[in-house]
Structure 1
Amino acid sequence: MEFKESQAIYLQIADYICEQILLDKWKADDRLPSVRELAVQTEVNPNTVMRTCEYLQQYEIIYNKRGIGYFVASDAMKRIKQLKKERFMENELPQFFRNLYLLDIELDELKTHYEKYKRSHFR
């Protein structure tokens, strides 16, 4: 896995796990790969993956069955979207709005481009 310098590795692994859930590759109550398997897959120390699991557990996206492993929570998709929306609104949207203002881009123009993007990428 290629990591960015701008974000902690455990958060990038959390994003990867969340993406797998959002893409419906891992469904509610599916068992996640073990901590060791994820560590090998992402090429990091198992302690880093453990920190990721603790983080995702804190947000109730995954849960632990002691001695068996981690599983996707039944409402994980809803919780992931909520968490990602909050992070987007707090971290990315202010800079995005600043760019719109500086470049004099109106929301109507943006809406047209967004609709075109959705048609070409998600249908």
Structure 2
Amino acid sequence: MIPVTRELVTGIKLTNYKDFIVEHLEDCPKEDKLSRLKHIWSMPKFGQLPKKPTKLKLLEHTRAYLLYLVSTTIFVDASQRSTLISYLQLLRDLDEAGKYAWGAVALAFLYRSLSKVADRESHFSGLATLL
């Protein structure tokens, strides 16, 4: 069960995506537009945990996996095949990540998507299971 009544899910506007990605995942794709992290880059890089990982490697792989999981469950947008880097802010401190109201933000994302569909602005995005 994902929590609905906990800390508000917010973030700050990032100005330097490359440095932010390197700080939290150690590596960064060689692309110009880094506001989204493509799954085609992250899956081969973080899909398999190295043998005898250091604590830092374990944290980086865990962040990458959770970032992928969040983008394919709560903030689903099948047309993108990528994840907004801004979500990585929520996974900096894994102890803190569990304190967020993920359920509330999932519903807000779903309602916003439904609003866009009703206004014929966009296709459906969001966790259809909640619908």
Q: What TM-score, normalized by structure 1, do the two folds share?
A: 0.27
Q: What TM-score, normalized by structure 2, do the two folds share?
A: 0.26
**Larger RCO, structure (CA 8 Å, separation 6 or more):** 2
Larger Rg: 1
